Amino acid sequence: MTDLLKLSGVHTHIGRYHILQGIDLAAPQGQVTMLLGRNGAGKTTTLRTIMGLWPASSGEITLGGERIESRATPDIAQRGVSYVPESMAVFSDLTVKENLVLAARDGPMDDKQLEWIFGFFPALRRFWLSRAGSLSGGQKQMLSIARAIIEPRKLLLIDEPTKGLAPAIVMALIECLKEIKRKGATILLVEQNFFAARELGDNVLVMDNGTIVHRGEMAALASDVPLQERLLGLSLEAHQ
Amino acid sequence: MTELAATDPLPKPKRDIAPILLPIALALVTIPLIGSPSTWLTLTAASLAMGMMIFIMASGLTLVFGLMDVLNFGHGAFIAVGAYIATLVFAPFAASVQADSLWVNLAVLAPAALLSMAVSGALGLVVERVLILPVYGQHLKQILMTTGGLIVAEQTLYALWGPQIIPMPLPTSLRGSFILGDVAIAKYRVLATLIGLAVFIAIQLVLNRTKLGLLIRAGVENREMVEALGYRIRRLFLGVFMTGSALAGLGGVMWALYREQVHASMSDELTVLIFVVVIIGGLGSIGGCFIGAILVALVANYGGFLVPKLALVSNILLMVAILMWRPRGLYAVTSR
């Protein structure tokens, strides 16, 4: 399996803080790579650094073999990378439709793709012409995910999509992400929900203090409670 | 917030009409205070014209504020430059300006306005590249740079045109008034109101019916996410800055014709009004800017008539009152 995304010795500073301290990671093509770790470990910074929102101070980031660490965010997005931030960042003054029109960068929205998205998130059809700011938290998350997949993308960077959501919405999100994976997309997913992590993850990376402290298969970590407690400070079962 | 079940009715979007009702309520409340209906109508028409001119000048600034987070204290330079450029067209065609034909007058006025917009827009390009670009995200430096730019622009105008006030007479066909019973409404004020409305409608159409408009609205709210979707927002910034500068130039021409004179520091009296409009409207909100401009003009005209001693502070009092009611302006758009 080739690696679509590779980070080698990546350091990121935010102001005077040294957040990422030499990250080495790989996201294999067509697989879901989970990024786990305590709060403040550097997971969100890793995604933002890949996206170019916080530039890497040093190190190398390659996407499909091409170096992107010094590229601007729009360039990285145009190379097929979608980003779903933890804050969701839907445009609250725009309608659901307008949010998706903007996300469909390459032209008019594809009706088949839209129907496929509506299959997972029927609320988006119902609130099609409503302002995104009036949606509930779960609906905003659906919109945020829909925005990332309205057009086919090579790589999805998703930051804690299930945070604070009702179980029914979490299930819909998991099914949607599984389907996206089946379609061949590569996903780097930050997640705290063990159930979601176990259901979706092929590989896992655990971060602590700005470095990767563990890498392996998700199934192996899911079945090794002592390892979970050593790496994360608690068992994943206790964190679902 | 709880999720709605599939069978729940769609919630109706709430329309915030309170700010729209505010100028209407203000106008109605002043009818008995002013007493004479004809005076009230004259003051109201004057306010609408003044409000539309302020709106044209402020609309670009509010988008620049909202989209680019730039405090441009030099916006007045575009107003003055626009007015001076119009004099370059008016001077050689003075006979056409004084001709008693609307079409002949417009044949001078329209090119003058277009040239002013073009030059102000081009100046906007230079200012954004030279003064603003190095200080994005640094408010204090933006204030220093743009204030310095305004001083340089004013002094350059003094050097080129001299310190004297340059008369800019209204074209003959725009002089005089429409008489409706006891009420006289100046023709130029009607034209200014129509131009202001046309600009407002055009901006609204662009913002609401085009992808470019969606990008601007989205950029005002969250620039970073627009970039993460793959759009180069820097180019959008530049386009909005140039458009805002061009509109300020148009506003400068209209204000000069309103005052029938041009001078290098003509924007000084307008800058405070423009910032009051942008702040009470809500940073980045064109709708708020439009209502704010009308409110400011109504308060200035009604206040000047009813309590002349309060005229100088009336708009500051208005801003304080609005911000106590809605601390982020009439229509809050950005989180800044």
How near does any CA of chain A get to the CA of B27, in Å? 30
Does A51 reside within a domain? yes
Which residues are CB-neighbours of B202 under 8 A, at least 6 positions away? none
Question: What is the predicted pLDDT for the residue at B299?
Answer: 95
- The answer on A233 and A157 residing in a single domain is yes
Instruction: Give pLDDT, residue A239.
Output: 53
Is there a single domain that holds both residue A123 and residue A142? Answer: yes
pLDDT tens string for chain B (336 positions)?
344 444 454 455 567 889 999 999 999 999 999 989 999 999 999 999 999 999 999 998 998 887 777 889 999 999 999 999 999 999 999 999 999 899 999 999 999 999 999 999 999 999 999 999 899 878 899 999 999 999 999 999 999 999 899 999 999 999 999 988 888 899 999 999 999 999 999 999 998 889 999 998 898 888 899 999 999 988 888 999 999 999 999 999 999 999 999 998 898 889 989 999 999 999 888 999 999 999 999 999 999 999 988 877 899 999 999 999 999 999 877 544
Look at residue B1 in the predicted model and tell me its pLDDT: 39
Confidence at residue B13, expressed as pLDDT on a 0 to 100 scale? 59
Model pLDDT, residue B6: 44
Instruction: Select the residue of A77, A91, A166 nearest B221 (Cβ to Cβ).
Output: A91
| CB burial of residue B110 (10 Å; 0-12, 13-18, 19+) | exposed
- Name the packing angle between helices A96-103 and A137-149 (round to 10°): 30
pLDDT of residue B5: 46
- Residue B172: what pLDDT? 93
Q: How far is B200 from chain A (nearest CA, A)?
A: 19
CB contact under 8 A, A77 and B333: no
Contact yes or no for B218 and A102 at CB 8 A: yes
Task: Based on the fold, state whether residues A7 and A73 are members of the same structural domain.
Answer: yes
pLDDT digits (tens, 9 = 90+) for A1-10: 699 999 999 9
Question: pLDDT tens for residues B198-214?
Answer: 999 999 999 888 999 99
What CATH number does the domain containing A157 carry?
Answer: 3.40.50.300
Q: Please, what is the average pLDDT of chain A?
A: 90
* B3 contacts A168? CB cut-off 8 A: yes
Per-residue pLDDT for A55 more than 90? yes
Looking at the structure of chain A, the number of domains it has is 2
Assess whether A183 and A202 both reside in one domain: yes
Contact with chain B for residue A133, Cβ under 8 A: no
Residues A189 and A113 in one domain: no
Show which of residues 161-200 on chain A sit within 8 Å of chain B, judged by CB atoms. Answer: 166, 168-169
From chain B, which residues contact A within 8 Å (Cβ)?
1-4, 6, 10-11, 13-14, 211, 214-215, 217-218, 220-222, 224-233, 333
The answer to whether residue A170 is domain-embedded is no
Nearest alpha-carbon partner for B4 in A173, A146, A92, A124: A124
Residue A120: give the domain boundaries.
87-152
Is the CB of residue A73 less than 8 Å away from at least one CB of chain B?
A: yes
| Residue A182 belongs to some domain of the structure | yes
Distance from the first to the final alpha carbon of chain A = 30
| Whether residues A119 and A185 fall in one domain | no
Judge if A235 and A137 occupy the same domain. Answer: no
* A78, A83, A136 ranked by CB distance to B1: nearest: A136
Which among B221, B231, B232 is the nearest to A93, CB-wise?
Answer: B221
Tell whether domain B35-325 is in CATH 1.10.3470: yes
DSSP string, B226-293: HHHTT--HHHHHHHHHHHHHHHHHHHHHHHHHHHTEE-TTTTHHHHHHHHHHHHHH-TT-HHHHHHHH
Is residue A168 in a domain?
no
**Is residue A25 located within the same domain as residue A143?**
no
pLDDT beyond 70 at A12: yes
A206 has a pLDDT exceeding 60: yes
pLDDT at position A240 over 60: no
Q: Which one of B2, B3, B217 would you mutate to disrupt binding with A, by most A Cβ within 10 Å of its Cβ?
A: B3
Domain identity same for A100 and A157: no
A167 within some domain? no
Residue A166: predicted pLDDT: 83
Q: Do A74 and B225 touch (CB under 8 A)?
A: no
A117 and A136 within one domain: yes
Q: Do residues A157 and A230 share a domain?
A: yes
Quick one: pLDDT at residue B140? Answer: 93
* CA atoms of B57 and B53, how far apart (whole Å): 6
The pLDDT value given to residue A227:
84
Residue to test with chain B: of A100, A102, A127, most B Cβ within 10 A = A102
The answer to whether the CB of A83 falls within 8 A of the CB of A47 is: yes
Is A94's CB within 8 Å of B214's CB?
yes
What pLDDT does residue A230 have? Answer: 80
Flag if A169 and B3 touch (Cβ within 8 Å). yes
Q: Domain for residue A212, yes or no?
A: yes
Full-model pTM:
0.82
- Interface confidence (ipTM) of the complex: 0.91
**What SS3 state is found at A22?**
strand
Which candidate from B3, B13, B221 shows the least CB-CB separation from A92? B221
